[in-house]
Structure 1
Amino acid sequence: MTADSTQSDAIWPEGLGDETERLHDLIDPVRFVLFDFDGPICRLFPGRSAQKVAEDQVRCLAGLGLPGLLSEEERCQVDPYVVLRAVDRRRPRSDLVEELEKRLTQHELTAVVSALPTPHVDPLIRTWTAVGARLAVTTNNSPSAVSRYLASRGLLECFAPHIYGRTQDLRLLKPDPHCLHRALRAMGADPRATLMIGDAPTDFEAARRAGVGFLGYARGAREARLLTAAGVRHVVPSLEPVLKRLRAKGR
C-alpha cells in the first residue's frame, strides 16, 4: 500500500514509457503471479480515507493516555500502516498493538464497499487465470478484507485459497518476504517462474528477497519516483499494456 496521490499532474520519469516495450521478457515466462492488494488490485482507501484511518489510530492512543508513544512526525502520518508499525516497534506483541490492528482490520473491511478497482486489473486477473497461471495475493492488508473485496468482484475463485495477508506478528509485514514465501510454498511455485506486481519499494524488497521477478505499478508520479529510486527496472503507470501483452501471447 502507498499513500494516495493525484495522477492528473503526474510527470513520469524520463524513459518510463519505454518499459512497456520490454514487458514480454518479464511476462512471457511467468506461471505464478503474486499480487499486492491495495494499489495493483484496488484503491482500498481512496482520497483522504487512509489519512482518516491514521488519525483514528492517533486519537485512540491519545484516548489511552499514550500520545507520547509516537513522534511528532508519526502523529502526522497519512499512512495507518506506518502508525501501526511504529507502535509495534515500541510495544511489540502487546495488547495495545492487538487493539490497533483490530481497529485497522475493521476499517479495511468497511472500506471494501467504497474501494475503487484498479483499471484493467479485473480482466487481467481473469485472463491470467484462463491461460493457466496460478495467482496469489501477498499483502500487508487483512486477508479477510482481501477476500471480501475479491468476492464482491467475482474474483475470489481466481485466487482462493492463496490469500496471504497480515498476521499477528507485524515484524513479518513486507518488506519481510514472509507472505511471499507462504505463497510460493503453498503453490509449489518456482521463484524463477514467478512475478510479483506491487506498488511500493517494500513490495520490491520482499520480491527481491524471495527471488521472484517484479513489476512496479505506479498510479502517480510520486509512486513512480519511489519505485525507480529503489531500483525497480520495470514500472508501468497502467496495467493495460500487461493485459495487451498477455492477450497477444495467448493468440
Structure 2
Amino acid sequence: MTPESTRPDARATEPVTGSTDDVQDLIDIAQCVLFDFDGPVCRLYAGRSAEKVAKEQVRWLEAQGLHGLLAAGMRDEPDPYVVLRAVDERHPDSDLVTELEARLTHEEQKAVASAWPTPYADALIRTWSATGARLAVATNNSPGPVASYLTGRGLIDCFTPHIYGRTQNLNLLKPDPHCVNRALSAMGADPARTLMIGDAASDYLAARAAGVHFLGYARNDRKLGVLQKIGAERIVTSLQPLLKKLNGET
C-alpha cells in the first residue's frame, strides 16, 4: 500500500465541519482505546465502493434463484453488511449465510489493497501505543482483512493480538456490544478507563451498552448528522486534535 504521506488524495476525505471540543479529558482517562476499523482507521472501500459490493451480493442471491429472499427495497441497499444481516435473519445458521459471509470477507480482503488511510490515523495509533495505552480493534469487518491492512501499514504490532471482528454468529455484530466486551475481557480493561472511537450509530450503541466512553469520528456531514442524531455528544471531524493533544501541543 502507498504510504499516507505520498498518497495525494488521502487528505481529500478530511471533513470541514463538526465539533472541535477539547479531547484532553478523553485522552487522560483512556488506558485502553478501541478503534472501529472502517472509518477511524481507514476507508476500506475507497477504491471499490461498498454499494457495488452490496449490489453484487444481491445479484449473487438472485442468481441462486433466491429472488424472494430480500424485500424489494433491499435490492437497492448500499450497505453489504445490512444485506448480510437481512439474509441471516431469514435463514440463520444456514449454508447460504455462511457462503454469503465468506464472499463478503473475500471482498473485504480485495478492498484492502485500495483502502485509504484515514488522515492522521497512522500517527495517532503509533503515538497512542507509544504512550503505553493498550489498543484494540472492535469491528464488524472480518478480522483477517483488518490484520492484512494493519500489517501493510506497519501498525499490526500496535494491536496484536487484540483484533475483534465479525464471527459466524451475525447476531453479535454491532450494535451488539459483543466485540467490545471481548476486547475488554481479553485486555482486562476497566470500561470506565476505556475509549472507543467509531463513525457509525452502531459503534455508539455498542460502546454505550458496554459502558465505555465514546468519541465519534465524522469525515463528512452525513456521518456527522448520523452521530448527532443517535445522541453522540463528543464528535471530531479530524483525528488531528487527538494527535496534537497526545503530542502535548495546544
TM-score (norm 2): 0.92
| C-alpha deviation, 1:48, in angstroms | 5.6
Is the contact between residue 47 and residue 111 of structure 2 (CA under 8 Å) also seen in structure 1? no
Gap change, CA 1:11 and 1:247, over 3 Å in 2 = closer
| C-alpha deviation, 1:22, in angstroms | 2.3
How far apart, CA to CA, are the structure 1 residues paired with 2:225 and 2:16?
Answer: 10
Q: Could you list the runs of 5+ residues in structure 2 that have no partner in the other structure?
A: 1-11
How far apart, CA to CA, are the structure 1 residues paired with 2:57 and 2:66?
Answer: 11
Q: Could you list the runs of 5+ residues in structure 1 that have no partner in the other structure?
A: 1-5
Name the residue aligned to 1:113.
113
TM-score (norm 1): 0.92
Is the contact between residue 204 and residue 232 of structure 1 (CA under 8 Å) also seen in structure 2? yes
Name the residue aligned to 1:3.
none
| 1:117-196 matches, cutoff 5 A | 117-196=117-196
Name the residue aligned to 2:212.
212
* Percent of residue pairs bearing the same amino acid type: 61
| C-alpha deviation, 1:21, in angstroms | 3.3
| C-alpha deviation, 1:11, in angstroms | 7.2
Per-residue CA deviation, residues 137-181 of structure 1 (Å, 9 max, x unaligned), is 000000000000000000000000000000000000000000011
How far apart, CA to CA, are the structure 2 residues paired with 1:188 and 1:102?
Answer: 31
Per-residue CA deviation, residues 199-234 of structure 1 (Å, 9 max, x unaligned), is 001000000000000000001100100001101001
| 1:1-251 matches, cutoff 5 A | 12=17, 16-17=18-19, 20-46=20-46, 49-248=49-248
How many pairs align? 239
Is the contact between residue 7 and residue 221 of structure 1 (CA under 8 Å) also seen in structure 2? no
How far apart, CA to CA, are the structure 2 residues paired with 1:145 and 1:117?
Answer: 14
Q: What is the Cα-based RMSD across aligned positions, in Å?
A: 1.6
- Runs of 4+, deviation exceeding 3 Å: none
Is the contact between residue 197 and residue 217 of structure 2 (CA under 8 Å) also seen in structure 1? yes
Is the contact between residue 48 and residue 114 of structure 2 (CA under 8 Å) also seen in structure 1? no
Is the contact between residue 21 and residue 236 of structure 2 (CA under 8 Å) also seen in structure 1? no
How far apart, CA to CA, are the structure 2 residues paired with 1:44 and 1:7?
Answer: 13
How far apart, CA to CA, are the structure 1 residues paired with 2:207 and 2:21?
Answer: 22
